[in-house]
Amino acid sequence: MKFVYDFHEGNKDLKDLLGGKGANLAEMTNLGLPVPPGFTITTEACRQYLRNGTHVPGLAGEIDAHLATLERTMGRRLGDPDDPLLVSVRSGAKFSMPGMMETVLNVGLNDASVAGLSRQAGGNDRFAWDSYRRLIQMFGKTVCDVPGGEFEDALHEAKAAKGVTDDVQLDANDLRALVTAYKKVFVKHTGHDFPQAPREQLDLAVEAVFRSWNADRAVLYRRQERIPADLGTAVNVVAMVFGNLGADSGTGVAFTRDPASGEPGVYGDYLPNAQGEDVVAGIRNTLALAELEKLDKPSYDQLLRIMATLEGHYRDLCDIEFTIERGKLWMLQTRVGKRTAAAAFTIAAQLVDEGVIDLDEALARVTGNQLAQLMFPRFDLAGEPAPITRGVGASPGAAAGEVVFTAQRAVEVAAAGRPVILVRRETNPDDLPGMIAARGILTSRGGKTSHAAVVARGMGKTCVCGADEMEVGASSFTIGETVVGEGDIVSIDGTTGRVYLGELPVRPSEVVQYFEGDLDPERANEPLVAAVHRIVTHADARRRLTVRTNADTGADAARARRFGAQGIGLCRTEHMFLGDRRELVERLILARTDGERDEALAALQPLQRADFLEIFREMNGLPVTIRLIDPPLHEFLPSLEELAVRVAVAHEHGERVEHDEQMLAAVRRMHEQNPMLGLRGVRLGLVIPGLFAMQVRAIVEAAVALAAEGGTPRPEIMVPLVGAVQELETVRAEAEKIIAEVIGDSGVRVLIGTMIEVPRAALTAGQIAEAAEFFSFGTNDLTQMGWGFSRDDVEGAFFWRYLELGIFGISPFESIDTEGVGRLVRIAAEEGRATRPDLKLGVCGEHGGDPDSVHFFHQVGLDYVSCSPFRVPIARLEAGRAAV
Ligand code: PEP
Ligand code: MG
């Protein structure tokens, strides 16, 4: 196995082996660009080293050979006292991990070669001793774990002794003395002298870079960025060039386009008479790249030519690092550059216009997450405000308003025209009116799949959950010493989870205005909007998956349709049982006779019909999946504790409270230890006569009514929580009877299908498909029951530990667990279609709007994904990306 590649031997496609930096240095070398000569030690060598914890057999010999070539090319030997070759030893993994791993510069310097370096630099002793002390410092810290602070202290002392404040005020003698001081620090911590043998320095530095792959911060960064832990880093050994040799030298970074806005034109910073590390450390203020033209026109012109070459070659925005050593330009690094979400879209569209890439490639170069970022209003953080606390960014956006602590108060204050932030320990369905009225929702408990999070995302409303430093009381919340009372203003950032006191300025999203139809992409003088329009439109042309929405109201349905939804994949009817209708639901639950129950149902039915008609109208011509009621009915009753207290207090006063007593009995009767696994979904339909029948009748009547108006309703009745075909058959038989009765000659066609959200349903899908014309995967429950994780509790309780241990890289409630829960989806899709080849397959759990999950559903062969209205454009984009 070959462990070392000369820059001439590699190319940009060898990132797995050479890391990003090494592969791109090789590519630039082969393009004939001025890259300092060097070689790359492969990631495979790193992996072997980390596995065995010792030298990699064969590596030293290969380094010998490549070093000899390098020495020949440079006409110098490593660390030669008279005319030393110095090298940098730099990490470079496949994926960029900026600043996370180690680099050692000036390797090859020692007590003898420092004089040779001075001669090379035209008798510049100061420069030579400064380079030497930098080597001891970097080597000590990186290779031998000497605490960096001790070197800093020594430097500080040297300056203090001389009465100066700036490093540059130290002369050659001071720096020579500093080298002596640094060596003492080195011996103190390592028990041995700073190694003088250049080759030993090189070998130790290489191994230290290998080890830095597993440094804490690198491990943490990988986890966050979802970079696999077993890739290892490559190591680049490169001949040193110096940007700190005087006014005709310097160093800089540059981008071939503006990485913030995407606008064309080169962009960058330059620092004269400095090394790369100085730019990063921000020691002195950099100059705009354009200034270089005045300082050194030939280098500037050459740099511009090189940047054009690189962009043309990589066909994308590149960022580069360069150094000028006494008027000679050297390229130290390039890569396809990171950019903001806005720049990603704008640049992709520009490159299409320039004929560099086609629209398929433009589509591949942007992501749904980037689009999501562009859809949220954002705080203007120019004043760098300090947050008072932080929670989980559960539903992105920026919202400011008066703090209120009850849903009722939220409704009142909002009705008075003032924006509110609803603060709760956690939310429940009762809070819905308040959540609708609020600008944003802030809770101290729960994670990304808590009620607050799911509902807020559904409404496209800003939400921060699980801000657990907050103690939420009845009329104030406290964070340490800070008390925030009702009426105080807070600003919450649903992307970062940060909470601020006071009102921060907010900028609306142009991209949303465009999707809403308020901005004409052809006319708007807004390259970003035009780019989004173009790329999303292309995604629509390419995608196979249809995108529907989860919506329960006409208003949501209408907005989703403007956003491009092609129907409703989930209408949760239980949301229609709240508010004023709660009393009717109570009557249903408390009914003692068939007659009372039928009356309660009869009162609900016209209301439901009106709801459905409104939705069918908004989605005229498109399929609308209406799910029969799912949650346990006791969710519509007051809490057991509250009621018990009320009744006990009344009794104490010798009062009879008949209604409360009846209700209490009912709540006790219906109480369940595990309501999520209890009387809900299809089970309710089988236990409470007439409930599903009422809903089915309302659906079909509404459809017939729309048909009578000349519309084209396409109702799909969906039965929740089915685990056995017999359940579905029973509901189906009853529903078919009602359909036959109501439908008459309206021409309306009604489909009946089921959710697949219980593992048993997935595993018996072949049977269930006998009774279902469609399946919709309820991946929220399927994840809950597949893993046995309570969707309302777990995220705050222990997911952090699971993430830390790498058991999963992201919550399985957020992105589908393709191996486990995804396998259930795959099995059900295959076996369902084996029974019924034209079975329609969709997904309506939260995963329907998650970019990675959309790709998975495309692969599995589903027909559609359904997600909240605000996620519709994201799903359209990702479905397109999955198809190219
Ligand atoms: C699901 O379980 O994925 C689903 C869509 O239903 P709900 O979230 O209403 O339980
Ligand atoms: Mg469900």
**Residue 846 CA to ligand 1 centre (angstroms):** 8
Q: Indicate which residues carry an active-site annotation.
A: 451, 844
Ligand 1 binding residues, C-beta < 6 A: 570, 572, 630, 757, 778-781, 844-845
Find the ligand nearest to 782 CA: 1
The domain spanning residue 211 has which CATH number?
Answer: 3.30.1490.20
**Residue 844 CA to ligand 2 centre (angstroms):** 9
Q: Which pLDDT tens digit goes with each residue over 625-678?
A: 999 999 887 788 888 888 899 999 999 999 888 888 988 988 898 888 888 899
Look at residue 466 in the predicted model and tell me its pLDDT.
87
The CA distance from 540 to 520, in Å, is: 18
Tell whether 757 is in a known binding site: yes
The domain spanning residue 445 has which CATH number?
Answer: 3.50.30.10
Sign of CA dihedral 62, 63, 68, 72: positive
Look at residue 826 in the predicted model and tell me its pLDDT.
98
Pairing of strands 392-395, 462-465: antiparallel
The domain spanning residue 322 has which CATH number?
Answer: 3.30.470.20
Q: Which atom of ligand 1 is nearest to the CA of 777?
A: 3
Q: Using most ligand atoms within 8 A of CB, pick from 548, 550, 572 the residue to mutate for ligand 1.
A: 572
Q: Which protein residue has the closest C-alpha to ligand 1 atom 9? A: 572
Q: Which protein residue has the closest C-alpha to ligand 1 atom 3? A: 778
Q: What is the CA radius of gyration of the chain?
A: 33
Q: Which protein residue has the closest C-alpha to ligand 1 atom 8? A: 780
**Residue 788 CA to ligand 1 centre (angstroms):** 15
- The DSSP H or E segment spanning 52 is helix 43-52
> What total of structural domains would you count in the chain?
4
Is residue 372 in a domain? no
Tell whether 791 is in a known binding site: no
- Mark which of 239, 266, 298 sits at the end of a domain: 239
Residue 870 lies in domain? 543-577+588-626+699-883
Instruction: State whether 329 and 473 are in the same domain.
Output: no
Is residue 433 in a domain? yes
Look at residue 241 in the predicted model and tell me its pLDDT.
96
Q: What SS3 string covers 220-240? A: HHHHHHCCCCCCCEEEEEEEC
Question: Is residue 275 within 8 Å of 242, Cβ to Cβ?
Answer: yes
Instruction: State whether 147 and 113 are in the same domain.
Output: yes
Instruction: State whether 234 and 254 are in the same domain.
Output: no
The CA distance from 800 to 313, in Å, is: 43
Instruction: State whether 187 and 68 are in the same domain.
Output: yes
The CA distance from 119 to 721, in Å, is: 81
Instruction: State whether 208 and 254 are in the same domain.
Output: no
- Mark which of 239, 267, 282 sits at the end of a domain: 239
Tell whether 428 is in a known binding site: no
Tell whether 780 is in a known binding site: yes
Query: Left, alpha or beta for 579 (phi > 0: left; psi -120 to 50: alpha)?
Result: left
Instruction: State whether 231 and 293 are in the same domain.
Output: no
Pairing of strands 392-395, 398-404: unpaired
> Which ranges of the chain have pLDDT less than 50?
none
**Residue 741 CA to ligand 2 centre (angstroms):** 30
Q: Which protein residue has the closest C-alpha to ligand 1 atom 4? A: 778
Is residue 347 in a domain? no
**DSSP-derived secondary structure for 84-137:** EE-EEEEEEESS--TTTS-EEEEET--TTHHHHHHHHTTS-HHHHHHHHHHHHH
The domain spanning residue 746 has which CATH number?
Answer: 3.20.20.60
Tell whether 627 is in a known binding site: yes
Instruction: State whether 230 and 255 are in the same domain.
Output: no
**Residue 448 CA to ligand 1 centre (angstroms):** 14
Instruction: State whether 504 and 601 are in the same domain.
Output: no
Instruction: State whether 218 and 287 are in the same domain.
Output: no
Instruction: State whether 843 and 874 are in the same domain.
Output: yes
Is the overall model pTM greater than 0.90, yes or no?
no
The CA distance from 241 to 248, in Å, is: 13
Q: Which protein residue has the closest C-alpha to ligand 1 atom 1? A: 778
The CA distance from 443 to 121, in Å, is: 63
- DSSP β-bridge partners for residue 269: 253, 288
Instruction: State whether 303 and 396 are in the same domain.
Output: no
